[in-house]
Structure 1
C-alpha cells in the first residue's frame, strides 16, 4: 500500500499549474489540456477537480492567495512573532519587504492575479474569492493603523490595502525597472500616514 503522505494534493497541484499557465500565457492560455500538460498528467486529469473553465480560474485564484499569504507571513514575520511592537519603523520595514517580495519572487503571482481580477468582474465565484481575501488582508492591516486612525481603522486599513495593491501592480505590470527600496519605504510611510523621521 502506498504511503498516503506522499500522494500530492491534486487540487493544490492543479491550482499551481493553472497559476503557472496564466502567469506565462495569460487567461487565453488556460485550458484543461494546458493544466494537465503542465502537471505532467494525462489529458482529462484536471476535469474531475475543475470541469469548467470557471473552476480552473477558481483553482488558480486559490493558489494565488495561498502564495500571497506565504509571502506576507515571511515579510511580516518580525512583527507577527512579537505582536506587541506596532511602531512605525517595523511596520514600514515589513510592508516594504512585502511589496519588494511581491515585485520580485511574487511577480508571476501578481501578474496572474491581475488577469484573474479582471475576470472576477464577470464570475461570481472569483469575485467572492477576491472579496474574502481582501477582507482578510484588511483585517491583517487594521491593527497596524489603529493608533493612526482610531476613529476608522477598518476604512483606513481598506484604503491602505488598496494603495499597497496598486503599488505592487505598478511594480509588476507597469514599471520598466522597479523603484528602489528607499523610495518604496517612503511611499509606504505616506500611505500609512506615518510622520517622517
Structure 2
C-alpha cells in the first residue's frame, strides 16, 4: 500500500470512527489527512470505493493486532487464550477505540449495502482460519460453531464497553467462562 493511500485510509478511519458514516466524505478525509482538497477523490472516485478501501484497511489493522497478541500463545491453555483475547478487547476499546467504532459503522452500513457483506464474510473466514485451529487445541468439539460463539461474545463485550465504558471491565473472565463451557459441552 502506498504511503499516500494509507494516509488517506487511516484518516478516513478516524473520520468514520469519530463522526460516524454521515461524516465520511472525501473532503472530510482530505482535511483529516492534512492533504489538498481532491486528494481522497483522486484515489477513491466514489464514496463506495472509499468505504471499500476503509474496510480493507480496517481488516489489515485488526488482523495485525490479532497476530501480534497471539504470536506466543501456548496451545491448549484456556487461561492464556482468554488473557490474549481479553487484552485484544481492551486494546480495541482503548487504544484502538476509533478503529473499532469505524468497524461497527461499516457493519451498520453493510446492513443497507449488501455489496459490503462478501468482504465482511471473507474477513471473518480469514479470522476463523486463525481461531478455529486454536479452539481445537483448547478441546473444542466443534471449532467452527464455537468460534462463531466466541466472536459473538467478543462483539458484545466490545459494543457494551464502547457504549457504556466501565472502569472495572474484565473481558478475560467472560472469555474464560465461555471457553470452559465449550470444552465441557
TM-score, normalised by the number of residues in structure 1: 0.83
Task: Compare CA radii of gyration and give the structure with the larger one.
Answer: 1
Q: Give the conservation status (yes or no) of the 8 Å contact 1:138–1:157.
A: yes
Partner of 1:148: 139
Considering fraction of residues, name the structure with more helix. 2
> What's the RMSD between the two structures over aligned residues?
2.2
Point out where structure 1 has 5 or more consecutive residues left out of the alignment: 1-6
1:18-167 correspondence to structure 2 within 5 Å? 18-79=12-73, 85-146=75-136, 147-150=138-141, 152-167=142-157
Query: Equivalents in 2 of 1:88, 1:40: separation in Å?
Result: 45
Query: Equivalents in 2 of 1:58, 1:178: separation in Å?
Result: 34
Query: Equivalents in 1 of 2:14, 2:69: separation in Å?
Result: 23
Residues 110-168 of structure 1, C-alpha deviation per residue, up to 9 Å, x if partnerless? 11111110101222442222111111122211122214322x21121122122212211
Q: Give the conservation status (yes or no) of the 8 Å contact 2:52–2:116.
A: yes
More relative contact order in 1 or in 2 (CA 8 Å, sep 6+)?
2
Query: Equivalents in 2 of 1:100, 1:167: separation in Å?
Result: 10
Moved runs in structure 1, 4+ residues, more than 6 A?
A: none
Aligned residues: 182
Query: Equivalents in 2 of 1:88, 1:44: separation in Å?
Result: 50
Deviation at 1:33, TM superposition (A): 0.8
